[in-house]
Structure 1
Amino acid sequence: MTDVTLRQLRYFAVLGEELNYRRAAERLFITQPALSTAIKQLEQAFGVVLLNRNTREVALTDLGAAWLPQVQQALAGVDAVVANLVTLSGTRQGRLRVGYLIGTGADLLFRIVRHFEAAYPDVRVEPIEFDFADPTAGLAAGTTDVALIRPPVDLPEHRMLILDSETWVACLPRDHRLADRTEVHIAELLDDPIVCAPVTAGTWRDYWLAMDARGNRPPTIAAVAATYEAETTSIARGLGISFTTSSVARFYDRPGIVYVPIVDRPASHVALAWHPAAITPQADALIRHVQREWNFGEGEEVAVPATQH
């Protein structure tokens, strides 16, 4: 019997639904070459062709179209089997440590915790806030079981569910030369001094410095801030600018600053993340609760990328 992995099945299911490598890769949070390689390995393992590809489109073969609903059913069955094991073991009592990055998905956190506590009253949920010094919200150190984060983060072995997406905005001093604009491009701001996260934030810090857009131009660091309060205070003083998301503009508005949308940056995501090898029954219950709440399919559980550009 030729081995086939759950990951290969998930990749095929998502690509079979999207019929587009770019969209499927984005949904799976992997690169298009990685997705293409996984599908080719699956086909080669069984000596079959599941999809026809050319430069314009992707289409299921007759065999692929017949197999897709069986794969979807099998993946749903795996979910059910795991859920039944946890239910039968009676291990959904206890503590659940939910980390969250300051200012990240605050409304989502309240919704998730409130609904989960109603469904699982025997589980004691402990929300734990983390500042910019640890954008993994405790996952890297193992001090939380699950966490709401903003990828990219340095957690290559973790899994996640994308819950929301937001646009980039520039946080500017109110007397900034572009403060009256209705929108800006990232290149217009790359020469400005910038307020950024501590170096411990790693990949996340580089992402919010827009390092991928700078080429050989290093950023001028105006100040380092571990919280939005410290960040916006520095900007209101005129020390520099920062890049952030549209929700921050709602939650952290204050005198002396203005937020201007950036039109040419990819969306920033909010994700629920966890380590599959360290998952507790309580965390498993929360993850499955969120999957049902957001109407996720099995294929939408994905690996957290180390980088995102």
Structure 2
Amino acid sequence: MTLRQLRYFAVLGEELNYRRAAERLFITQPALSTAIKQLEQSFGVVLFNRNTREVALTDLGAAWLPQVQQALSGVDAVVSNLVTLSGTRQGRLRLGYLIGTGADLLFRLVRHFEAAYPDVRVEPIEFDFADPTAGLSSGATEVALIRPPVDLPEHRMLVLDSESWVACLPRDHPLAGRHEVEIGELLDDPIVCAPVTAGPWRDYWLAMDARGNRPPTIAAVAATYEAETTSIARGLGISFTTSSVARFYDRPGIVYVPIVDRPPSQVALAWHPGTLSPQADALIRHVQQNWGFDGGDETTAGQR
């Protein structure tokens, strides 16, 4: 049994609704359901009665819930005392983020962290495509929301979300009316891409791994989504992006079409373990504790 499973049980026991509980925990409903089933199977018990209409605590679950809540309160108090003693409740935190990357995640992360650490002033700093490390490579930021791959072999990261690839096309493109496309159908099109300084991130969004011996035809270089979508609306070329960008950057003259044969693109929180301020360390621990991570979930942030 893990502390994460206890938190999942407590939140579901309070909400009695998988959707609301998953939203509070920043995880998906299937992940929550799997964790609860694993907890029940570990002890051979049933904690919840479920049907298509409702979720209810069993008598055993209802008796156990206040004990779990009390235990978690004790853990939180111990952690809070450590934070107070270490002085991490005060100070400034520079949080970088790549433009358009996890926009909804950024707001949720900052809001929940500042509620837990009201004396820490979070300064979100936006970076364009010229620096997909969002300030980590230069030291301008301590922690950043990025979209791998990036060339940061000494950094660590936690993957917070994943999104499907979509093609951004001019509205009069021959494939603009399609419900979905494959990457190979678009590799001969001129493409709008990031600056060369983006390094492996630029190659990733050029789909270089799928091109073989076919080099891309660069139609234009853009460092922001505004510049990218403007070039595409003018008919200069296409681009590859993610499903969240399609929601936030819908513009006249362009169409987004899902790409069905590409691995998901990830959004991650990244940092250098050797240069963390107490405030940055507090943010990472806060995410690990409240977003359902174990220590083993950390991975390197180098090229992937």
TM-score tier (shorter)? 0.7 to 0.9
Q: CA deviation at 1:302?
A: 1.2
Structure 2: stretches of 5+ with no match in the other structure: 1-76
Q: Secondary structure at the match of 1:278?
A: coil
Structure 1 residues 71-90: aligned runs within 5 Å: 87-90=84-87
Give TM-score, length-normalised by structure 1: 0.72
Residue pair 2:89, 2:118 contacting (<8 A) in 1 also = no
Structure 1 residues 132-147: aligned runs within 5 Å: 132-147=129-144
Query: Residues 34-81 of structure 1, C-alpha deviation per residue, up to 9 Å, x if partnerless?
Result: xxxxxxxxxxxxxxxxxxxxxxxxxxxxxxxxxxxxxxxxxxxxxx99
Query: Residues 95-121 of structure 1, C-alpha deviation per residue, up to 9 Å, x if partnerless?
Result: 100000000011100000011111101
User: Which residue is 1:114 aligned to?
Assistant: 111
Q: Given residue 132 of structure 1, which amino acid in structure 2 is its aligned partner?
A: F
Is 1:227 the counterpart of 2:224? The answer is yes
Compared CA separation, residues 85 and 293, structure 1 to 2 (3 A): closer
Structure 1 residues 164-183: aligned runs within 5 Å: 164-183=161-180
Structure 1: stretches of 5+ with no match in the other structure: 1-79
Is 1:154 the counterpart of 2:140? The answer is no
Q: CA deviation at 1:159?
A: 0.4
Q: Given residue 290 of structure 1, which amino acid in structure 2 is its aligned partner?
A: V
Report how many residues are paired: 228
d(CA) in 2 for partners of 1:246, 1:253? 11
d(CA) in 2 for partners of 1:87, 1:191? 58
Query: Residues 216-263 of structure 1, C-alpha deviation per residue, up to 9 Å, x if partnerless?
Result: 111000000000000000000000000000000000001100000000
Computed over aligned residues only, the root mean square deviation of the Cα atoms, in angstroms, reads 1.6
User: Which residue is 1:206 aligned to?
Assistant: 203
Is 1:304 the counterpart of 2:301? The answer is yes
Q: 2:101 aligns with which of 96, 101, 104?
A: 104
User: Which residue is 2:261 aligned to?
Assistant: 264
Give TM-score, length-normalised by structure 2: 0.73
Q: Given residue 259 of structure 1, which amino acid in structure 2 is its aligned partner?
A: Y
Is 1:253 the counterpart of 2:238? The answer is no
Q: Secondary structure at the match of 1:127?
A: strand
Query: Residues 198-231 of structure 1, C-alpha deviation per residue, up to 9 Å, x if partnerless?
Result: 0000000000000000011110000000000000
Query: Residues 173-211 of structure 1, C-alpha deviation per residue, up to 9 Å, x if partnerless?
Result: 000010011000000000000000000000000000000
d(CA) in 1 for partners of 2:302, 2:162? 16
d(CA) in 1 for partners of 2:78, 2:239? 47
Identity %: 86
User: Which residue is 2:193 aligned to?
Assistant: 196
Q: Given residue 245 of structure 1, which amino acid in structure 2 is its aligned partner?
A: T
Q: Secondary structure at the match of 2:95?
A: strand
